[in-house]
Amino acid sequence: MKEYRIKPDAQFSLDRYDPDDTGEYKKTDQGKEKAKAITGQLIGRLEELQERLYANSNRAVLIVLQGMDTSGKDGTIKSVMSGMNPQGCKVVSFKAPTSEELSHDFLWRVHQKAPSKGQIGIFNRSHYEDVLITRVHGWVSDKVVKQRFNQIKEFEELLHESGTTVLKFFLHISKDEQKERLEERIRDPEKRWKFNEGDLEERKLWKNYMDAFEDMMAATSTDHAPWYIVPSNRKWYRNLVVADRVVNVLEDMKLKTPPAPAGVNFDTLKIV
């Protein structure tokens, strides 16, 4: 999975990353089922590790999901995080800022939503919208964007030094795959509620967004808050990559179950 990680200050092109990549798993029913089985095992392990994270309450994890419309942010949360205990996990979606939020710096509303110790926080879109959509539409200058890159890095460094591990995933789909998914929303009455005509306008700016994503990840991928480019045309492989990285980070924390209360003899303890 390391090949999907963007090194600090790396210059790269998204064109070099195949959104249809499935790693060592063949694009067959057999390859798909094998990957899904391993993902299931990872989700089970994630459930165990989250319980330990919650019990210890001395570390936190922040997962950032970014990508074009239909890239699978909601699907990733629904699938990969399915085994998590809700009391130790919180999903936050950042929409257009309110008038109060606009009266503060752009990170003000984000910092308030960062996970507390023992929690896993998931940002479905995030503070990175303020260097993506704002830039693509020309609402802020390139000078402001570069300032925000530095401010974001400092913000994430603060989180890291305070005990929060930051994982950032760019869900990479092709323009053709997005077209298919948008058409599926139109055809399926159960999915039409997700359709937004604004998505079609944003789709016209695809190249601008790809350029903005490249600059964003190159400028803000660090050792303590890395970006991963996740091939996401195949949903089953997307889920595998994300689950693998989250479990890997939690494993590296070497979390242990906290000791039982001192002075209690559990061998003779009786409850009446």
Residue 270 has pLDDT above 90, yes or no: no
pLDDT at 121 over 90: yes
Residue 259: pLDDT band (50, 70, 90) is confident
What is the predicted pLDDT for the residue at 197? 84
- What's the pLDDT band for 7 if we cut at 50, 70, 90? very high
The pLDDT mean for the chain works out to: 93
According to CATH, the topology of domain 2-252 is: Rossmann fold (3.40.50)
Helices (DSSP H) in 81-141: which residue ranges? 99-102, 108-111, 133-136
Nearest CA-CA partner of 234 in 168, 183, 180, 167: 180
What is the rounded distance in angstroms from the CA atom of residue 215 to the CA atom of residue 203?
19
pTM: 0.93
CA R_g for the chain: 20
Residue 46: band (very low, low, confident or very high) from pLDDT cuts 50, 70, 90: very high
Query: Is the per-residue pLDDT at 95 higher than 90?
Result: no
Q: What are the tokens at 46?
A: 């994630």
Please, which residues bridge with residue 230 across strands?
A: 171
**pLDDT value for 1:** 64
Per-residue pLDDT, averaged over 19-35, amounts to 93
Q: Is the pLDDT of residue 263 over 80?
A: no
Residue 266 pLDDT > 70: yes
Other Cβ atoms less than 10 A from the Cβ of 182: the count is 18
With 90 as the cut, is the pLDDT of residue 68 above it? Answer: yes
d(CA 250, CA 256): 11
For the chain, the structural domain boundaries read: 2-252
DSSP 89-103: EEEEE--SPPHHHHT
**Is residue 85 pLDDT above 90, yes or no?**
no
Cα–Cα–Cα angle for 219, 221, 225, rounded to 5 degrees: 140
Of 174 and 11, the structure prediction assigns the larger pLDDT to 174
Residue with tokens 């990957």: 35
Q: Which two tokens stand for residue 127?
A: 């503070």
Phi, psi of 60 (to 5 degrees): -145, 160
pLDDT tens digits along 190-249: 888 888 888 899 999 999 999 999 999 999 999 999 999 999 999 999 999 999 999 999
Question: For 151-166, what is the mean pLDDT?
Answer: 97
